[in-house]
Structure formats: structure tokens, C-alpha cells
């Protein structure tokens, strides 16, 4: 047995202590597929917006408790933390699933389609798992069941993080995310490494994608107010025109990407999404307000872009005799996969997905609040295929849209790879 096992382990590239548990994981994950699908459909049909995931949280907590896992509820409002202590000492590995749905009305014709409605920002709206977080919850519930069933063999502790509000809470005076709040409540203190996945509606079932280092963008909101001096539109020389100044600022901001960012390393985005100023064709207004979004990859680039925005806006306004107030609000940090952890886990991903099914992701200018966990401890965030086999990505509805659809055939791979992460990491950690 030993003689046989060693060459196999070397072939897979990971001669780790606990890779021997993989066949057992495969068996248990396959056996649980129907249950994972059933949980997912139930959660899909009963979606809840950020910080309102009461029913979902209860379902998770009840499930974990039934497995003999220690449960904490009400973490970061509606979050659930499960702690599974293995039979042997070792590191603590955190696995994360986000639970929140979105204010989107589902259009897809499914037997488990959501008909839930809610009030969001004062508007009546449908509620839908239009980002696939229902699948993340169901997959992690499956992982909990698989690992609880082999608890005595585990060399360490598994910490399950079922977090609320990944999509953020944007209310008067409050801007926050479930992961940020969970970190503030101390969930990462005893964790050695954290893993998470995101289902992808435009990536084929059976595939896993990942990327070392910066993988998803950091997102910041931009607000610029340009103050001028009001004047008659017929005599601009008697005032300071904030509209002309704003036009120069918008053009100036575009030079940050073309002239300041090292485009051989990582791209960045500065978008002005709205400009408001003026009321009549012959009145030069007193001020113009513009808002936009900034996407960067990593702290250095973020600092550079922020500094240049402020310099360009304030100096252009000053040169016109006016003034610009720049206000940048940091939202999500960049999702950065720890390079050493990513390298260590690459063979694990290959072992789970199989040859030909691993994709090195392109940079994504969208964001994920998983980044808050990664700022605390080394973390790896992967994408899991959720598009039906043979589908055409460009013709498949994207996330956050009413026709968003996930093929259920990839869930078992999700359960397997997350479980592999745990046992492989535990096996290598000294």
C-alpha cells in the first residue's frame, strides 16, 4: 500500500500528509450531491438581502449543529461561524461562503424561481440570488458534512465562515460589508489560512480558475465638486466657469491611466459616471459635481491613482481661478491571493479539477469583500464553473442580471476542492 501510494503522491505534486484523505472526500462529496442541490434550490427560492439573511443563517446553523459542529450565531449581524475540531492538533483553516442576495427580479423560468420582494433604498424590488451566493452556501454546507464525517482524521481545526452582506450595505451614514465586520469582530484572529470560491455563470462546469497575487480590483468611490463663480452666460469673463474646468478635469483624469500607471504591470480604471451642474443655457453655474469609480490592483497602485486624482483636479481648478474638493471613499480592497499559498495549493486545484480543467484567470475589475479576510491572513479565492457544458460565455447572462443562471453540475467539484484545501493545507503546515 505504502509503496503504491508514494509514487502517486509524487505524480500529483503534493506529497502531503493528508492527501490520502482525498479518495474518502471524493466518495462523500459524490454521495451528498442531491442534498447540496436541494439546499441550494431552497435558498434560491428564499433569497434575503444583506444583513437580513435570517432564514438562511438558521438553515446553516441548524445543519452545522446537527453535524456536531460548534456554532456561533449573530456574528456581524446575521453571520454564522462553525468550528470543527479535528482529532489531531494542527492549524486552523477558514472556509468562507457569503449568504446575501440582490435587489434583482428573477426572470429565468425555474421551478425554484424566486418570487420574493423587498423594499430596497425606498423602492419595491424583486430579490434574487443573482450572484450565485446560494450555491456558495449549499457547497459549504456540503463541505461541513463531508469534513464532519472524517473529523477524527483531521489534523487541525476547520472554521466555517458564513458571512452576510458581501454585496455591501449602503445606507445613510453606513457603508460596510459582512467580511469587514466579521474581521472587526475578530473571526480571523486564530485562523492560519482562508479559502473561498465564487461560482461563475460564464465559466463552464468542471473548471476552476484562479490567479496568484492581485486577482480582483480594489474599488473606491470618487466625488469631485468644482467651485467657480456664477456669471451670465453672455459674459463668462466676469466669473469662473466650473463647467469648462470640469471638462478639463475629466480629460486630465484620463492621463492617470495613460501616463502614470505602469501598464506593463497591472491596469487600472478611473471612470466619471455622472456630472451635474447648471440649470439654464445662459447661466454659468456656481458649481459642478461629478462622481465616479476607481478600480486598482494593490495598495501601491491605489495610492498612486488617488494622489494623482487629487493633484489633477485641485491644480486644474486652481489654474482656472476656482477650487476643487476631492473626496475618495475606499470601499473594497483589492482581492490578493497570497503568492506562497497559491503556489502551495496549485497542485491541489489540479488534483480536484483534473488536467485541462484549470484556468489562470484574467484580472477582474469587479471586487469581492473576501479581500478583507485576505488582509488579515494568507487567503486564496478561486472561481468555480457554473455555466452549462458547451455554453457560450458571451451569450450567457452575467452576474447581477435577471436571467442569471447556474448549472448545478459543478457543485460536487466545489465541495471536493474546498475539502481538499483543508486536508492538504493541514498536512503541510508544520
Annotated catalytic residues are 332, 408
Residue 50 C-beta: closest distance to Zn ion, Å: 11
Residue 131 or 165 having the CB closest to Zn ion: 131
Helix axis angle, 33-45 relative to 133-148, nearest 10°? 140
Residue 359 CA to its chain's centroid (Å): 18
Q: Which is nearer to Zn ion, 166 or 220 (CB)?
A: 166
Element (H, E) at 289: strand 287-296
Residue closer to Zn ion (CB basis): 97 or 268:
97
Return the number of the residue (32 or 208) whose C-beta is nearest Zn ion: 208
What is the C-alpha to C-alpha distance for residues 385 and 397, in angstroms, rounded to an integer? 14
| Three-state DSSP class for residue 160 | strand
Establish if 131 lies at the interface with Zn ion (CB under 5 A): yes
Q: From CA 56, how far away is CA 73, in angstroms rounded?
A: 12
Q: Minimum distance from CB of 53 to Zn ion (Å)?
A: 14
Which uninterrupted H or E stretch holds 125?
A: strand 123-126
CB of 412 to Zn ion, least distance (A): 20
CB 329 within 8 A of CB 309: no
Q: What is the DSSP string of 317-367?
A: HHHTT-EEEEEEEE-SPPEEE-HHHHHHHHHHHHHHH-TT-EEEPPPBSS-
Question: What is the nearest approach in angstroms of Zn ion to the Cβ of residue 17?
Answer: 33
Close Cβ partners of 197 (under 8 Å, ≥ 6 residues apart): 136, 139, 381, 382, 383, 384, 414, 417, 418
- Between residues 220 and 424, which has the closer beta carbon with respect to Zn ion? 220
- Residue 426 binds Zn ion (CB under 5 A): no
CB of residue 131 to Zn ion, shortest distance in Å: 3
Q: Which is nearer to Zn ion, 196 or 277 (CB)?
A: 196
Scanning the structure block, which residue is given the C-alpha cell 476542492?
417
Part of the chain binding Zn ion (CB under 5 A), chosen from 126-134, 170-178, 298-306, 322-330? 126-134
User: Which set of grid coordinates corresponds to residue 123?
Assistant: 423602492
Q: What is the DSSP string of 289-322?
A: EEEEEEEESSHHHHHHHHHHHHHHHHHHHHHTT-
Q: Give the helix/strand (H/E) hosting 94.
A: strand 88-98
Q: How far is the CB of 118 from Zn ion (least distance, A)?
A: 17
Stretch that binds Zn ion, among 43-51, 129-137, 183-191, 234-242 (CB under 5 A): 129-137
Using the rule CB under 5 A, give the single segment among 15-23, 131-139, 254-262, 338-346 that binds Zn ion. Answer: 131-139
Stretch binding Zn ion (CB under 5 A), from 125-133, 141-149, 221-229, 340-348: 125-133
Query: In this structure, what DSSP letter does residue 362 have?
Result: P
**CA dist 120 to 115, 116, 359, Å?**
15, 12, 37
Total residues contacting Zn ion by CB under 5 A comes to 1
382 binds Zn ion (CB under 5 A): no
Which residue lies nearest Zn ion, judged by its C-beta? 131
Other beta carbons within 10 Å of 260: 16
Give the end-to-end CA distance of the chain in Å, rounded to a whole number.
Answer: 25
**In angstroms, what is the minimal distance from the CB of 100 to Zn ion?**
9
Length of the chain: 430
Which of residues 97 and 417 has its CB atom nearest to Zn ion in the complex? 97
Where do contacts with Zn ion occur on this chain (CB under 5 A)? Answer: 131
Amino acid at each position: 500500500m505504502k509503496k503504491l501510494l508514494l509514487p502517486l503522491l509524487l505524480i500529483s505534486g503534493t506529497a502531503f500528509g493528508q492527501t490520502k484523505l482525498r479518495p474518502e472526500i471524493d466518495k462523500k462529496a459524490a454521495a451528498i450531491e442531491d442534498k447540496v442541490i436541494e439546499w441550494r434550490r431552497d435558498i434560491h427560492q428564499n433569497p434575503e438581502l444583506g444583513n437580513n439573511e435570517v432564514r438562511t443563517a438558521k438553515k446553516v446553523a441548524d445543519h452545522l449543529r446537527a453535524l456536531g459542529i460548534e456554532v456561533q450565531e449573530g456574528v456581524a449581524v446575521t453571520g454564522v461561524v462553525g468550528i470543527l475540531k479535528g482529532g489531531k492538533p494542527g492549524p486552523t483553516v477558514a472556509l468562507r461562503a457569503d449568504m446575501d442576495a440582490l435587489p434583482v427580479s428573477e426572470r429565468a423560468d425555474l421551478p425554484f424561481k424566486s418570487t420574493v420582494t423587498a423594499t430596497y433604498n425606498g423602492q419595491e424590488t424583486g430579490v434574487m440570488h443573482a450572484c450565485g451566493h446560494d450555491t456558495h452556501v449549499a457547497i459549504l454546507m456540503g463541505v461541513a458534512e463531508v469534513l464532519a464525517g472524517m473529523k477524527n482524521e483531521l489534523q487541525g481545526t476547520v472554521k466555517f465562515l458564513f458571512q452576510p452582506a458581501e454585496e455591501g450595505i449602503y445606507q445613510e451614514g453606513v457603508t460596510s460589508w459582512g467580511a469587514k465586520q466579521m474581521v472587526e469582530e475578530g473571526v480571523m484572529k486564530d485562523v492560519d489560512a482562508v479559502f473561498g470560491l465564487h461560482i461563475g455563470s460564464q465559466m463552464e462546469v468542471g473548471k476552476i480558475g484562479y490567479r496568484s497575487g492581485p486577482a480582483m480590483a480594489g474599488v473606491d468611490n470618487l466625488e469631485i465638486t468644482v467651485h467657480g463663480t456664477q456669471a451670465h452666460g453672455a459674459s463668462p469673463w466676469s466669473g469662473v466657469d466650473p463647467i469648462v474646468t470640469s471638462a478639463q478635469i475629466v480629460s486630465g483624469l484620463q492621463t492617470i491611466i495613460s501616463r502614470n500607471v505602469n501598464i506593463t504591470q497591472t491596469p487600472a480604471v478611473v471612470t466619471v459616471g455622472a456630472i451635474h451642474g447648471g440649470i439654464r443655457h445662459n447661466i454659468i453655474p456656481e458649481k459642478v459635481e461629478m462622481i465616479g469609480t476607481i478600480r486598482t490592483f494593490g495598495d501601491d497602485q491605489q495610492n498612486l491613482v488617488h494622489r494623482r486624482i487629487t493633484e489633477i483636479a485641485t491644480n486644474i481648478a486652481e489654474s482656472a481661478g476656482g477650487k476643487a474638493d476631492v473626496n475618495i471613499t475606499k470601499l473594497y480592497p483589492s482581492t490578493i491571493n497570497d503568492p506562497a499559498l497559491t503556489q502551495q495549493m496549485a497542485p491541489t486545484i489540479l488534483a480536484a479539477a483534473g488536467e485541462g480543467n484549470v484556468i489562470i484567470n484574467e484580472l477582474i475589475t469587479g471586487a469581492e469583500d473576501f479581500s478583507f479576510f485576505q488582509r488579515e491572513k494568507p487567503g486564496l479565492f478561486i472561481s468555480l464553473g457554473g455555466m452549462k457544458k458547451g455554453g457560450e460565455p458571451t451569450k450567457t447572462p452575467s452576474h447581477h442580471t435577471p436571467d442569471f443562471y447556474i448549472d448545478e453540475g459543478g457543485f460536487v467539484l466545489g465541495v471536493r476542492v474546498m475539502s481538499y484545501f483543508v486536508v492538504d493545507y493541514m498536512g503541510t503546515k508544520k
